[in-house]
Structure formats: structure tokens, C-alpha cells
Amino acid sequence: MDDYGSEDVMGFQAVSRRFGSTEILKDLTLSISDGAFTAILGPSGCGKSTTLRLMAGLDQPTEGSVTMFGRDVSEKRPAERNIAMVFQSYALYPHLSVAENIALPLLMRETSAFQRLPLISKFSTSSRSKRAGIFERVKAIAEMLDLGDLLHRKPGQLSGGQQQRVAVGRALVRDPTLFLLDEPLSNLDAKLRIQMRSELSALHRRTGRAFVYVTHDQTEAMGMADRILLMLDGRVIQDGTPRSLYEQPQNTKVAGFIGGHSMNFLVLQRGATSAGGLFAGLGLSCSDPSMEMTLGIRPEHLDLDPDGPLYGKVEHVEYLGGETMIELLLDRQIGLETGSKLRALVSSARVPFGLGDAINLGCKPELVHVFESGSGERIRTGIEKAA
Amino acid sequence: MFNLSRKSREALTDMMLAGPATLAMGMLIFIPVIIVAFLSFTDYQMGAKTLRWVGVDNYATLISDPIGRRAIVNTLLYVAIVVPFSIALSLLVAIGLHGMADWSPSFSKALRAAYFLPVAATLVAMALAWQMLLHPSIGLINMALIHVGLPAPAWFSDRGLVMYTLALIGIWQSVGYNMVLFLAGLAVIPQHLYDAAEVDGAVTVWDRFWTVTWPMLGPTTLFVAVITATNAFRVFETVATLTRGGPAFASDTLVYALYREGFVYFKVSYASAITIVFFVFVCTLTIVQYRVLQKRVHYT
């Protein structure tokens, strides 16, 4: 796999987590590189939030160990791991002002329990001078996050986006080794989400710290992350750069999950590799004709082509603005199961046809993914692609 | 039927829903209060055919008479002990049982039921149990104290001790109810706040309590304080069954005094004055608690 950095800030060794008889994480081994922006992507219930809680130390593995810089931290509490976390619900303290919310991690670390006592904190001079120093730093962070005017407000008086910033500020204020973000943008409206996306990316560049970002939204993961761990059913099913996940999905599950429009899968019959069939028509050849294969083609990689090997009748047309999604019922041809359908995304300017028209579609051979039908795994050897 | 506008029909529905209860409130509470307030300025006695306006004489008597003053001071003392101790104790128990529910739900439930029992049981019967427990010579508690070589106090007949004994029973009686309220309050504190506190470095139980539990329980605590205080002001059953205000009025309280003056000595006007003083105390306390604390426990 790609080299993401020299040191692993966090690692899981054969980690399992069971709640009663339900196994949420199954024998999970992974590593988070220092300084990288890693996204843990997966549908809800895949175990990604549990993974993050294990990283934070809010939960402990049933089996296996959690390490930081190679040292076992399974027994260590979040504060000892020096991680910061931004929660999906922000988890701001409603009774504290913005400034006090951001200052809390510093107060907890840098003042004694005695100095934090409700009355002592106001009247002890040592405590007061310490507080003054802390609030200077809080102010600097707040200015950076555009919260300067809101320092004395309570979280309940802020908008969702502002609350999000306060949560980020609270994570940022004490320079943690690792930032954990649990679906931090899912409660924001679409416009704000895009804005916060670039702000978080900028924050990552500025701090240079490792970020682990849990999300179910692939556009967030693809757009922000250096590396994506794609999780399904408590396992990491692919680990790589956003580009490698999109261009070389290791199996049909990854292929089906990644991509704005879901991939077309064409199940091929035995003997489909013979000359004159679809397989050859797409510019592919295979050394092992006994293999049972499924072709994966992304809708955005199909294009109108009068000589294209994929042909049939237009069944459905969806106008999406600049592009149009067409659904095709493919005609019978060698190797293809009857009733196969194909969705293609083509430029709206190139759609002079309507329902029931017969059209041809083509696709570059290097953009066709070939999977083994039974296991769904990507076939790497034995497939030749015409240049 | 009637050709009414939609607005008037809706108004009529509202009146029908709220009307009967409002009427009953007026007849059973507001009008009697006005009558009691009026009677407190007269010399009316139960069964008397005439009454005479005496101004604030009844109030003057209540405040100047050592026995009346005693009742006021005793009641305030009782409230001052029961409210903080009951709140603190029930909060501790609630936090304990709330945490216990994680590792032993059935044990936690059994203890909840046990703590709630004093609330569900008849206090008069419970008072008898306390009387037996605290009996100076054959009571279990004194026997235990003697056994370990401590002095055995006369819980109900020592004039300096009797109010504290009653307050103890008052605390015991109210802890269960307050605990249920606190448990409800604890149940709605979102777990993510504890997670955040943990990440922020609130490692000790003490830090987590001050960072999350106590502030988040603010509204519950205010409610518990108001309920406990008004109930404590009304202390009557234990006094009536255990001490009858004695020895020598050492455990006389406002409500017991009003019962004695009104229904034993038939001095209705004097009892009315006591009632009004009681009413003013409870109202003032409640208003002050809400005014002072409401802003500090709701955070929006």
C-alpha cells in the first residue's frame, strides 16, 4: 500500500469489539499515519463510530490492542492519549459560554482540582492569573475560527455552524496529537457543509496533525482525505487513496459504494470471452476462458458511440441539467444475460433521442472493471486490455 | 347548531376544558383563602354567633407569644435541615443507583423500590415504626448505641433534640421521592457530554460531576428544592403521631399549631392567622427560589 508517512500515530492490532453477542468489529488491524488526513468511510452500522471511540479511549477492545506510536494504550484514558474529539452532536456544555467551553480542556489540565472549585476559582489569585493566561489563548483560537464576537454567548444561542466551530475550537486549543472527528458536518445544511469542508481541510494543513474523520458521506471522504479506510460489517474492505478506491476498487462492494452514481454490473455468462461477444467488443481478452466474470462500468464512463459494443433501447431518461442519465435495456448478444440494464451519464447536449430509441454506447477498455462473479473480488491477472 | 365563528367555537372549547377545574379551584382554594385571610383579622371562634374585627392582634399574638414564635422557629429549622440534607442524600443515592444500573440492573431496581417505599407507605404507620426504633430503652437504635458504649439519647423527649429527630425522619421520608426525580434527571443527560468531558480531561468522578452532572441537573434540582421545601413546611403527621408538639412545645410546628388552635381549642381566628403566615412563607420561598434560580439553571 502507499506510503503515507513515517510514523503511525495510532494502530489497531487484531481488534475485536463485541456488545453482548453482537460483534461490531471483527479482527480489525489498521494504522493511522502521523500528519495524514484519514477518513473512515462506511454506511451506518458498519462499526466506524465504534472504531473512533476505541481510538479515543472512550471504549475498550474486547480483544486485540490499540497502540499509539507503537506503545500499547488499550488501558489508557482519552486524556492520557492526548487526543481531541469533535462529536457529531458537538457535545458543548450548555451552561458554559463559548469561551468557557473552549477553555475547559486547558482548565482541566493546567489547574488543580482545588483551583477549579466553584468559589475558589473566583477568589484565589493563583487560579485567577492562570485563568487569565488560558483565556488569552482561548481568544486567539476564537479569533482564528471567527468566533471572536461570540465569546460570551451560550451554545444555545448559536447557529449550528457556530456551534460546530466552537467544538472545533475546543479540540484545537490544547494541541493534541490526534484529532478524531465523528461525522462533524452531518448536522449542517448543505451549503455550510461545503464551506466547513474546506475550513477543516485548511485546519488540517495548518496544524499538520493527524486527522481521523468518520463519515458516511463519500464526497466528504473523497474530497478531504489523503487516505480512506472503507468499512463494511466491522471490517476494512479497502484501504487506499480516494483515487485508488475509485479507480481500482478491490471488489464489487467497494465498487458499488464509491462513486457519485452507482456502478453498472453486467454478469457475464460462461464463454463470454469468445470472439464476437461483448467481452471482446469492449477491447478485453482473457487467458482463462473458464472464469465467471462480472463487468463493472461507471455510468460516467459510458459515452454515445455509433460503433459502441453496448446497444439497446432507451427505457428511461432523467434530465439532470448539464448531464442526462439514461437507462438502457441491452439487446441480446453473446455472453450477456438477457434483461441486462445499463445506466449511462451523458452530456445533455448530446441527447437527440427519446424513449424507445435504439442507441449504442462505448467505454474505454481501461475504465472497465472485471470482477470474479462468485467472490466479487477484482481480477488482476489474465485480463488483457487493448490500449 | 349555533352559527358561531371558528374562533369563538375554539374559545368555547377551551373554556369547557379549563372551566370546571378553574371553578373548583376558585371554590375550594381561592375563596377559602380569602375567608381565612378575613377571619385572621377577627376574634371568631368555632360555633360563635358573632365576630369582632381585631386588626392584626392575632398576628401580634403569634409573634409575641413564645409558643407561637417557637412554632415559627421550629418550622424554619426543620426546613433548613431537611431541604439541603434531603437533596444531597437523594442526589448521592440517585447517582449511585444510576451507575449501578449499568452493571446490575436488577439490584439497582430493587434498591430503587426500597428507597421509594417510605413515599408509598402511610407516614403514620411508618412513624410508629420510628417510634419503636427510637424508643429510649427498648428501641433498636439505643440498644445498639449502648452496646458500643455510646450515650443513649431520649430522641423524642429531649427538648433540644426532638426537632432534629423529626428532621431526620423527614429526610428519610423525602429521599425516596427526590431520588426518583433525580434519576429521571440523570437519565436524560446525554452520554456524549460525559464523553466530551472525558476527552477534555475531566478524569475524576469529582470533575465529571461538576462539569456535567451538576449543571445538567440544574432544572431538576430547582424543582426538587421547591417540592421538598413546601413539603417540609407542611410537616404535620410525624409531629401529630410522635410528639404532639411536645415536650412543652419543643417540637411545635406551624401546621401542628394551626391544627391545635383551630380544631382542638376552636380558636378559628388565631388558626387562620397561622395559616396565612404559613401561606406567606411557602409562597415567598417558592417565588424566591424560582426568581433567583430559574435564570441560572436554564441555559438558553
**How far is C-alpha B85 from the chain's CA centre?**
12
Contact residues on chain A for B191, CB-CB shorter than 8 A? none
Residues in chain B with CB shorter than 8 Å from the CB of A96 are: 215
Quick one: which H or E segment has residue B35?
helix B31-39
Interface test with B, best of A76, A88, A95, A100 (most B CBs within 10 A): A95
The residues spanned by each domain of chain B are 65-294
- Cβ-based contacts of A89 with chain B (< 8 Å): 190, 192
Burial class (CB in 10 A: 0-12, 13-18, 19+), A22: exposed
Comparing A264-278, B143-157, B245-259, which segment has the lowest mean pLDDT? A264-278
Interface test with B, best of A59, A82, A85 (most B CBs within 10 A): A85
Residue B68 to residues B71, B178, B261: CA-CA distances in angstroms? 5, 31, 11
Res A300: pLDDT: 92
Per-residue confidence band for A275, with pLDDT thresholds at 50, 70 and 90:
low
> Which position has the grid cell 431537611?
B82
Q: What is the CA radius of gyration of chain B?
A: 24
User: Which has more pLDDT, B166 or B153?
Assistant: B166
Q: Is the ipTM of this complex over 0.85?
A: no
Residue of A nearest to B191 (CA): A91
Q: DSSP string covering A25-46, please? A: EEEEEEEEETT-EEEEE--TTS
Chain B: residue whose CA lies nearest to A109:
B201
Instruction: Check if the beta carbon of residue B250 is closer than 8 Å to that of residue B163.
Output: yes
Lowest average pLDDT, out of A11-15, B41-45, B77-81, goes to B41-45
Of chain B, the percentage scoring pLDDT greater than 90 comes to 25
Q: Which residues of B touch A95 (CB under 8 A)?
A: 215-216, 218, 299
Q: Quick check: B202 contacting A, CB < 8 Å?
A: yes
* pLDDT for position A17: 92
Cross-chain residue pair A109–B201, CB shorter than 8 Å: yes
Q: Looking at the partner chain, which of B190, B195, B299 has a beta carbon nearest the beta carbon of A58?
A: B195
Verify whether the Cβ–Cβ distance A93 to B190 is below 8 Å: no
pLDDT at residue A1 in the model = 40
Nine cell digits for residue B258: 394551626
Task: Label residue A373 by pLDDT band (50, 70, 90).
Answer: confident
pLDDT 10s digits, A30-50? 999 988 999 999 998 888 999
- Under an 8 A CB cutoff, do B200 and A95 touch? no
Residue closest to A49 by CA, chosen among A212, A258, A291, A269? A212
Give the confidence band of A118 by pLDDT, cuts at 50, 70, 90.
low
- Distance between CA A335 and CA A270 in Å, rounded? 7
Do A89 and B211 count as a contact with CB atoms less than 8 A apart? no
Residues A133-174: tens digit of each pLDDT? 888 888 888 888 888 888 889 998 898 888 988 998 998 888
Chain A residues in contact with B206 (beta carbon < 8 A)? 113
Question: Is-contact A82 A76, C-beta < 8 A?
Answer: no
The string of DSSP letters for A96-131 reads S-HHHHHHHHHHHHHS-TTTTSTTHHHH-HHHHHHH
Cβ of B200 and A170 within 8 Å? yes
Q: Which residue of B191, B193, B199 to mutate against A (max A Cβ within 10 Å)?
A: B199
The whole model's pTM is what? Answer: 0.80
Domain at B65-294: CATH code: 1.10.3720.10
pLDDT above 90 (res B21):
yes
Span B230-275, pLDDT tens digits: 889 888 888 888 888 778 788 888 889 889 888 888 888 888 888 8
